[in-house]
Amino acid sequence: MDLSLVIPLRDEEESLPELCAWIKRVVDEHNYTYEIILIDDGSEDKSWEVIEMLRTADPHIKGIKFQRNYGKSAALNEGFKAAQGDVVITMDADLQDSPDEIPGLYNMIITDGFDMVSGWKKVRYDNTLTKNIPSKFFNWATRKSSGIHLHDFNCGLKSYRRKVVKSVEVYGEMHRYIPVLAKWSGFKKIGEKIVEHRRRKYGTTKFGWERFINGFLDLASIMFVGKYGKRPMHFFGLMGTLFFFVGFGIVIYLVTGKIIDPAKSVSNRPPFYI
């Protein structure tokens, strides 16, 4: 199979028929063999009913249903497990990602030899204060800490060689850091493609400040595991050695003070309690 499209969603009943029809038109024009995997992440609207209707009408469409909301990372992880295509492309279900980008992303994997390609929404239509500015800061911090020079780590529109998605496990808010996870797994040919960002047509954004904060905590976790996962004592040993020398220095200071002035009580001095 040429292509697997993995699409996590929550409460997107209005956009799904239009999205699937658009994808079908694009992939049929290029004669791809394909599957569309829709992962319903605990929707409270009629998204699952729409998915069942769509997959009944089109055997290329498959559905995975969560009984409650587990988050985008968990949805992607299940989609990656189910994917069978040589190339796996992820996109959001809200029609802000254009299916017209599929051939370009596919060719960058198959023809140009990239392990994964991340979309870059250079022109965005999100709220500047609540999403664009935090995203710029987040992307800057991730670039600096990971050494991966991408402009838009959190772009939902990405393409992967199949062995990449089978080699990473995505949980928490880790979907933001799949390029980092791929790099730590040995897939270093990571590319970028400018993609179209469309205005939201239906529903409301699911983005919240708590996801932004959790994302940075997950980044710290990834960087720690990636650097020290196979040799944790390099980290804890360094910290232990540092505290040992600080403590030893304090002991020398207190003992020296006692020798110089025997009348002073060691236990009454603040460094004794450090």
Decide which of 202 and 80 is more confident. Answer: 80
Q: What percent of the chain has pLDDT over 70?
A: 74
What mean pLDDT comes out for the span 67-89? 96
pLDDT number for residue 274: 54
**263 pLDDT tier (thresholds 50, 70, 90):** low
User: How far apart are alpha carbons 70 and 48 in whole angstroms?
Assistant: 16
Copy the structure tokens of residue 227. Answer: 């650097």
**Could you tell me if 182 and 163 are in contact, meaning their C-beta atoms sit under 8 angstroms apart?**
no
Q: What is the 3-state secondary structure (H, E, C) of 86-99?
A: CEEEECCCCCCECH
pLDDT number for residue 238: 62
Q: What is the CATH number of domain 3-228?
A: 3.90.550.10
pLDDT number for residue 256: 73
For 17-55, the pLDDT digits (tens) are 999 999 999 999 999 999 999 999 999 999 999 999 999
pLDDT number for residue 182: 93
End-to-end CA distance of the chain: 64
Find how far residue 118's CA is from the centre of its chain: 11
Q: State the DSSP H helix or E strand holding residue 102, giving kind and residue range, or none if neither.
A: helix 102-110
Decide which of 134 and 186 is more confident. Answer: 186
User: How far apart are alpha carbons 92 and 19 in whole angstroms?
Assistant: 10
pLDDT number for residue 268: 59
pLDDT number for residue 202: 76
What does pTM read for this prediction?
A: 0.77
What mean pLDDT comes out for the span 161-175? 90
Copy the structure tokens of residue 177. Answer: 């850091």
**138 pLDDT tier (thresholds 50, 70, 90):** confident
Q: For the CA atoms of 19, 23, 24, 27, what is the dihedral angle to 10 degrees?
A: 180
Q: What is the 3-state secondary structure (H, E, C) of 225-252?
A: HHHHCCCHHHHHHHHHHHHHHHHHHHHH
Neighbours of 262 (CB within 10 A): 7
Q: Any idea where the domains of the chain sit in the sequence? A: 3-228, 232-273
For 82-104, the pLDDT digits (tens) are 999 999 999 999 999 999 999 99
Q: What percent of the chain has pLDDT over 90?
A: 54
**Could you tell me if 8 and 76 are in contact, meaning their C-beta atoms sit under 8 angstroms apart?**
yes
For 211-258, the pLDDT digits (tens) are 556 656 666 665 665 555 555 555 556 667 777 777 777 777 666 766
Find how far residue 192's CA is from the centre of its chain: 15
